Amino acid sequence: MGTKRGISVFLSATLLLVGLSTLAGPAMSAAESQAKEKALFEKKCSICHALSRPLGEQKSRAEWTKTVAQMRKNGCPINDAEAKEIVDYLAKVRGPKKK
């Protein structure tokens, strides 16, 4: 009987801790997310060219997606998730001019 109660207490405590950790761990803020995207952009895009090259352009999300896909074809080591983050960053900071 003691072993079953011990297991029950252990499982209850584990579930409580897991539940609290998900409540206590706030999601990444927009500023933190953009800082992460910027760091990835700087790390990956500077492998082949100066950062001023893409930062000197303004493109739509679709155009940035095409540009990043071309960089991957040219051999830049970017996986799918990284490509999405880089496109997200460039679309935010170097999207088309607002009219």
For position 20, what pLDDT does the model report? 45
Of 81, 84, 72, 6, the C-alpha closest to 45 is: 72
Range of the domain at 58: 30-93
CATH number at residue 64: 1.10.760.10
12 assigned to some structural domain:
no
24 assigned to some structural domain:
no
pTM attached to this predicted model: 0.70
For position 10, what pLDDT does the model report? 54
77 assigned to some structural domain:
yes
16 assigned to some structural domain:
no
Of 60, 58, 78, the C-alpha closest to 68 is: 78
7 assigned to some structural domain:
no
pLDDT of 11 over the 60 cut: no
Residue positions counted in the chain: 99
pLDDT of 7 over the 90 cut: no
3 assigned to some structural domain:
no
